[in-house]
């Protein structure tokens, strides 16, 4: 209820009182109607360059959000014709030479779901890489594609504080078709070895492909 101004205060005081009350009411309405940030919001860089795609991949691996939001974010990084190529050692151990988009997403749904269910204690991914450039050598049918060579891949997946799986010193080659609607996506990914590195005793040495295959329920 707004009490009318009495005859005693000056007209100026009455006007100031009404203005102050209106400001207070509108301020409260603005505060209550302003959209609130979501705690589980996964914020990724715009995929305006191949480098941004690799940066987004690291955010998805390293930041603990819901399994579904991470899977959706990861799916946004991959071309519809995506192919992942395993290392020769993994193929010798019984894994396929390659797999496509469906298996890649199934593997990551398994990884992110396991962390959400506390079956994975922590995940850390760091990818050091060269700047993006044209395919070298050029490939027929892939005119306009770009590639990024990852000079070092470090992936540490801990099952508990003492035990886990590790990729340390791995390398990779990511290839990107021309951007669509201003967005780059990974079209081709080859997992590469770099042998001869000393491994940590607290974790079991793996390849990136082998770790993904562990969490693919279809294999």
Distance CA 182, CA 64 (A): 28
**pLDDT of res. 133:** 98
* Alpha helices, DSSP H, located in the chain: 11-33, 50-62, 67-75, 88-92, 101-116, 208-214
DSSP letters, 32-66, are HHSPPPPTT--------SHHHHHHHHHHHHHS---
pLDDT band at 205 (very low <50, low <70, confident <90, very high): low
Q: Which two tokens stand for residue 72?
A: 């959706």
The torsion angles phi and psi of 15, rounded to 5 degrees, stand at -60, -45
Q: Which CATH architecture has domain 50-214?
A: Roll (3.10)
Please state the pTM of the whole predicted model.
Answer: 0.79
**pLDDT of res. 52:** 98
Nearest to residue 115, comparing CAs of 154, 153, 69, 82? 69
**pLDDT of res. 194:** 82
Higher pLDDT, 160 or 23: 160
The torsion angles phi and psi of 176, rounded to 5 degrees, stand at -125, 125
**pLDDT of res. 41:** 84
Q: Tens digits of per-residue pLDDT, 88-100?
A: 999 999 999 999 9
- pLDDT > 90? residue 112: yes
User: In this structure, are residues 146 and 135 in contact, taking their beta carbons and an 8 Å threshold?
Assistant: yes
Higher pLDDT, 210 or 202: 210
């Amino acid at each position: 209820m707004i009490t009318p101004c009495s005859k005693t205060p000056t007209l100026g005081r009455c006007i100031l009182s009404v203005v102050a009350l209106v400001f207070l009411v509108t301020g409260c309405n603005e505060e209550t109607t302003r959209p609130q940030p979501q705690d589980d919001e996964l914020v990724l860089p715009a995929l305006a360059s191949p480098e941004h795609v690799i940066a987004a991949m690291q955010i998805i691996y390293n930041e603990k959000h819901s399994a579904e939001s991470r899977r959706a974010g990861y799916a946004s990084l991959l071309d519809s014709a995506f192919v992942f190529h395993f290392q020769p050692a993994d193929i010798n151990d019984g894994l396929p030479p390659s797999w496509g988009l469906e298996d890649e997403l199934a593997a990551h749904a398994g990884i992110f779901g396991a962390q959400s269910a506390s079956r994975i204690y922590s995940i850390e991914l760091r990818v050091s890489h060269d700047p993006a450039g044209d395919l070298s050598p050029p490939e027929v049918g892939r005119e306009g594609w770009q590639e990024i060579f990852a000079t070092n891949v470090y992936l540490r997946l801990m099952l508990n504080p003492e035990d886990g799986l590790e990729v340390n010193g791995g390398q990779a080659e990511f290839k990107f078709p021309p951007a669509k609607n201003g967005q780059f996506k990974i079209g081709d990914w080859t997992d590469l070895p770099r042998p001869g590195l000393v491994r940590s005793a607290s974790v079991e040495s793996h390849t990136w492909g082998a770790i993904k295959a562990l969490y693919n329920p279809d294999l």
